[in-house]
Amino acid sequence: MLAVSDVAFAYGEHVILHGVSFAVPRGHIVGLLGPNGSGKTTLLRIIAGTLAPQRGRVEIDGVSVTAMSRREIARRISVVPQETHSTFDFTVEDIVLMGRYPHLSAFELEGPDDRAIAYEALQVTGTRALAARTFATLSGGEKQRVVIAGALAQASDALLLDEPTASLDLGAQLDIAALLARLHRDRGTTMVVCTHDLNFAASLCAELVLIRQGRILAQGATADVLTPANVAALYDVRADVAFHAGAKHLTVVPIARA
């Protein structure tokens, strides 16, 4: 459903992306891995339509994102940013109901159907009990689950997640990983996940795209791409990569700088 074709982008003289191409089939979870400054977040913004590529195109079911209105894009793609801050004292219910805005006309208020969708999203993410709380009072893990609930209420075809476990404690990281895995299993949700956590990516993503200095280093099935040689080429780090019987996925143990 999602195709990135020969996408290039630069900020002035500083080139960020050099002809990046990959596809995300409907119902798949694809992980974007790469060091800081590799262009991952810029690429997510281009996919989401908030930046226009200077070359190439992003298509959803064959339609260019640049040909869509912001409302049309929001009905197809939901974004879960790395950090979400609320300037006002919105409640959790308010935050999740904002996900319904792309489906409302100007000045239209949320109706019973919109509220039912929002409450279902709260229920699915385990945040229904937090509905009356103000967003600012939540923990990092609770905030991330609420933002994911808002993305679900948006009822888009795909989720783009930028570092969904960043700055979370170990328990919250496991909670987010389990939530995303359940959404994929139960709803077939299509996801593009940008992350630095190789073990998180290995546990969740069937396919990976490795990006360094704005170029794709490798892409394909996680079992084929997540290798010691590719980890060394991507991060300049020597690492052990092995299947963990208890975790039931590949695990990466960094050893030293390569």
Query: Confidence class of residue 253 from pLDDT cuts 50, 70 and 90?
Result: very high
Tens digits of residue pLDDT in 78-129: 999 987 777 788 999 999 999 999 999 887 889 999 999 999 999 999 999 9
Say what the pLDDT of residue 167 is.
84
Per-residue pLDDT averaged across 234-254, rounded?
Answer: 97
For residue 119, what are the CA distances in angstroms to 27, 33, 116, 137, 183? 24, 33, 5, 20, 16
Tens digits of residue pLDDT in 142-158: 999 999 999 999 988 89
Tens digits of residue pLDDT in 169-195: 999 999 999 999 999 999 999 999 999
Q: What tokens appear for 130 in the block? A: 């937090």
* Cα 71 off chain centre by: 19
Contact 26, 3 (CB under 8 A): no
Q: Which residues pair with 78 in a beta bridge?
A: 159
Ordered structural domains, the chain, with CATH: 2-257 (3.40.50.300)
pTM for the full predicted model: 0.93
Mean pLDDT, the chain, integer: 94
For residue 35, what are the CA distances in angstroms to 20, 43, 68, 126, 236? 16, 14, 31, 32, 10
Q: Provide, rounded to the nearest whole percent, the portion of the chain with pLDDT above 90.
A: 91
Q: Which of 201, 118, 212, 121 is nearest to 164 (CA)?
A: 201
Per-residue pLDDT averaged across 63-75, rounded?
Answer: 94
Query: Confidence class of residue 255 from pLDDT cuts 50, 70 and 90?
Result: very high
